[in-house]
Amino acid sequence: MVKLNELHDNPGATKKRKRVGRGPGSGIGKTAGRGIKGQKSRSGVAINGYEGGQMPLYQRLPKRGFNKPNRKQYAVVNLGLIQKFIDAGKLKGDITEDSLIESGLLRRKRDGVRLLAKGELTAKANITVTGASKGAIEAVEKAGGSVTLAAPVAETAPSESA
């Protein structure tokens, strides 16, 4: 029978917290193991990725690829979600980018809406979006609907008439 007054942890299960800077008798007093002077002996210093003047690893590695600065970002919508909103009665008739936002399926258009083929569409729907995958177009047409690709909102380029 275990008695409450005989309960204890296994040996080595608990360890006392190291209290730094508590006098010379502690073995880690005065400078608290930080050495003397210098940036790292001060408080509030974090030198992540610094390698003592040696070229850091992240700068030694080769850079690859290219990030297009003016790339288009499309809002993505899947067929399965459109079907779910049609079943719930939130989408009716012709489905446009604006009706997708009004129904709450999308938050914003960004550079246009792109239709993807994830999920199944059983309802007949006429969908007008900026872009669509081949699989999505086939699935909509298989269900008896149609996909119309609207031209994306064109950015007006400054004309050179000087």
Q: So what CATH class is 75-149?
A: alpha beta
> What's the confidence (pLDDT) of residue 47?
82
> What's the confidence (pLDDT) of residue 44?
82
CA distance 125 to 113: 16
**Is the sign of the CA dihedral 119, 130, 91, 104 positive or negative?**
positive
> What's the confidence (pLDDT) of residue 9?
93
> What's the confidence (pLDDT) of residue 156?
54
Residue 153 structure tokens: 């909102």
> What's the confidence (pLDDT) of residue 161?
56
Under-50 pLDDT residues of the chain: 162
> What's the confidence (pLDDT) of residue 12?
92
> What's the confidence (pLDDT) of residue 59?
92
> What's the confidence (pLDDT) of residue 153?
57
Q: pLDDT of 114-136, one tens digit each?
A: 999 998 888 888 989 999 999 99
Dihedral in degrees, nearest 10, Cα atoms 90, 93, 94, 99? -20
Which residues lie across from 128 on neighbouring strands? 148
The domain segmentation of the chain, as residue ranges, is: 75-149
Asked if 112 and 98 touch (Cβ cutoff 8 Å), the reply is: no
